[in-house]
Chains A and B, each alone.
Chain A
Amino acid sequence: MKEFLTFTKKEFLHIFRDTWTMMIILVLPLVMMLLFGYAVTTEIRNTNIGILDYSKDETTRSIINRVQESEYFTISNYFNSYDEIDQSFKSSENSLVIVFGENFSENLLHLRKADIQIVADASDPNAAKTLVNYLSNIIGSTLKDLNKTTIENYEIKPELKLLYNPLMKSSYNFVPGVMGFIIILVCAMMTSISIVREKEKGTMELLLASPTSPITIIVSKLIPYFVISLINIITIFLVSYFIMGVPINGSLFWIFILCILYILVSLSLGILISTVSDTQLMALVISAILLLMPSMLLSGMLFNIESMPLILQGIAQAMPAKWFISAIRKLMIMGVDAKYVLHEFGALLLMEVIIIGISLKKFKKRLE
């Protein structure tokens, strides 16, 4: 027991004395939270929009007012001719332009139709599509309000009701994602690197030549990373709850059980990577390519898994992060009972058993 404590203490000293390790495991999680929360947001807000109005009448003015009032758009430019539009896109002054045809109000009144055109910069197709949707909704509802006395303009419109995240806040999506990513980073990558560092620096040779069992050596190396991961999880929860207003609807108990299980899976992955790598660089590359990147791209955090090609969907199933993120979304955001995430728990548990099995088999009590 005493040697176990000395080992753990030594491991903490390694971490505390290395500025870069400290930055990665304690500062990076916060930076990621803030980046995703405020900078890389997928929500649309304050998009610059340009107006080319050939009519300048009552109706166009009220549409423009509505657009201006909405939180999504800010009017940046008023154009006088079509030629100016192209220039404004190229100089990135705005990414959207509304063009009103001539005699807008009169045409609408007499011909029951009027010319309106939305020009969008589709170099980012997803954003363009969302913007056009928002804008068409605003225009549609304005026209509807203006014409509400006329019965002929009667039309059926679907009404969407968004459950669990009615405001479509992206923080509901990225908080579980950031947690999934950070734990893989701290547990799998940093642990594997710290174990391989002992091999590379030759200290593993001395440890193995001592009577201390290899299992003690490894387990005591994992403890600090386990503790730090828990601290990270709690920090992320506090930041997301108090600063970003993400609700915690489900049982805290089950959320923590899930986090602990996921931390254990990640730690075992770290051991596994350390048994196949001989250099720190190799451990870094393996964990970055096989774990970090897929945990970001294939976990459902950034892209929807169901719309991926089949082969990528298959790979995604093997990512612990995918199961963790799915379960934490259900527990935290939807607030479901633990029995609805049995599937995810089962998958993580199965992974843990397999990974520990392989690691123990591959683990050496000698140098080669």
Chain B
Amino acid sequence: MKAVRVNNISKAYKGKLALEDISFEVEKGELFGIIGPDGAGKTTLFRIMTTLILADEGEAKVDDYDVVKDYKLIRERVGYMPGRFSLYQDLTVIENLDFFASLFNTTVEENYDLIKDIYKQIEPFKDRRAGALSGGMKQKLALSCALIHKPSVLFLDEPTTGVDPVSRKEFWHMLKNLQKQGITIVVSTPYMDEANLCNRIALINNGEFLDIDSPQNLIKKFPKKLYSVEGDNMPKLLKTLRANDNIETCFSFGDCCHITLNNETKDNDYKEIQPSIEDYFIRLSK
């Protein structure tokens, strides 16, 4: 049994295609990442999987339940954390947690073990209103609320967007721990550096999946040697490189440029580097 199975899903909003023929599977206990820029269709896909909207075409199953027919059963067994902080800001931490527990017909005590590690960090502030928490604490509270009913599949839509780097790192550490407890996790993110922490990832752009594989394999698929060129004047550097006929592709990466060549020449001056998921994504989405 697969945790998630999506077959040929398409969805359009007012004639504009948001998702086009998406198919993938997530194994039980897997940490599956969906990586792509804003507006790629990640949230639409999450909402289809969590039974919140209907796809125009195709079918999707979670724990072998159909998202259209068995939507009630799915709602009982998945945890969902939307991209935007969606808890009640005027309720306190503990009130939010209690509320979401009873929403799923359970109590905080019953599943305390599961959320213990995460909740312990915000417990000192349990009587503070959710709206007054810092970004990192809000995210921990949201995750606790999504976990309170011991879901078998956890859907996290851009959980680390707008969170500081330290909290992001912490958050992925928490996900790894949850995975050890047997929970399947489907997570989306626009940050390519987080992709390496997933078992497998899907690269999504403009509503289409570009590739699905483990991060290691995806990097191996990069077909060319990749070089890095550095320079002080980035616009001028880009212009010069793009004028060079032997340079196939050229993208700026912070303070340097990543390039590939049409014809590999022996001993060129460029510094060869290891391609990253981002290099592969840019190459595919070109």
Residues 129-164 of B at the A interface (beta carbon under 8 Å): 145
Whether A367 is near chain B, meaning CB under 8 Å from some CB there, is yes
Whether B126 is near chain A, meaning CB under 8 Å from some CB there, is no
Residues 343-366 of A at the B interface (beta carbon under 8 Å): 365-366
B82 touches A202 (CB 8 A): yes
Residues 77-114 of B at the A interface (beta carbon under 8 Å): 78, 80, 82, 84-91, 95, 98-100, 102-105
A6 touches B80 (CB 8 A): no
What mask results when residues 185 to 218 of chain A are scored 1 for a CB within 8 Å of chain B, else 0? 0000000000000000111011111111000000
What mask results when residues 1 to 21 of chain A are scored 1 for a CB within 8 Å of chain B, else 0? 011001000100110011000
Whether A368 is near chain B, meaning CB under 8 Å from some CB there, is yes
Residue of A at shortest CB range from B13? A368
Chain B residues with CB under 8 Å of A201's CB are 86, 89
Chain B residues with CB under 8 Å of A365's CB are 71
A13 touches B91 (CB 8 A): yes
A121 CA to B78 CA, complexed, in Å: 73
Whether B72 is near chain A, meaning CB under 8 Å from some CB there, is yes
Residue of B at shortest CB range from A2? B102
B86 touches A3 (CB 8 A): no
Whether B53 is near chain A, meaning CB under 8 Å from some CB there, is yes
A14 CA to B87 CA, complexed, in Å: 13
A205 touches B99 (CB 8 A): no
A10 touches B75 (CB 8 A): no
Whether B234 is near chain A, meaning CB under 8 Å from some CB there, is no
A6 CA to B104 CA, complexed, in Å: 12
What mask results when residues 39 to 57 of chain B are scored 1 for a CB within 8 Å of chain A, else 0? 0000000010011111000
Q: Within the complex, what minimum Cβ distance (angstroms) separates B272 from chain A?
A: 46
Chain B residues with CB under 8 Å of A13's CB are 90-91, 95
A366 touches B90 (CB 8 A): no
Chain B residues with CB under 8 Å of A203's CB are 86-88
Whether B264 is near chain A, meaning CB under 8 Å from some CB there, is no
Whether B117 is near chain A, meaning CB under 8 Å from some CB there, is no
A202 touches B84 (CB 8 A): yes
B80 touches A209 (CB 8 A): yes
B88 touches A14 (CB 8 A): yes
Whether B127 is near chain A, meaning CB under 8 Å from some CB there, is no
Q: Within the complex, what minimum Cβ distance (angstroms) separates B153 from chain A?
A: 12
Chain A residues with CB under 8 Å of B54's CB are 366, 368
Among A6, A17, A366, contact of B53 (Cβ-Cβ < 8 Å)? A366
A203 CA to B88 CA, complexed, in Å: 7
A6 touches B51 (CB 8 A): no
B105 touches A211 (CB 8 A): yes
A314 CA to B86 CA, complexed, in Å: 44
Say yes or no: A367-B87 contact (C-beta < 8 A), given A210-B104, A212-B103: no
Say yes or no: A211-B76 contact (C-beta < 8 A), given A10-B88, A17-B90, A203-B86: yes
Residues 15-33 of A at the B interface (beta carbon under 8 Å): 17-18
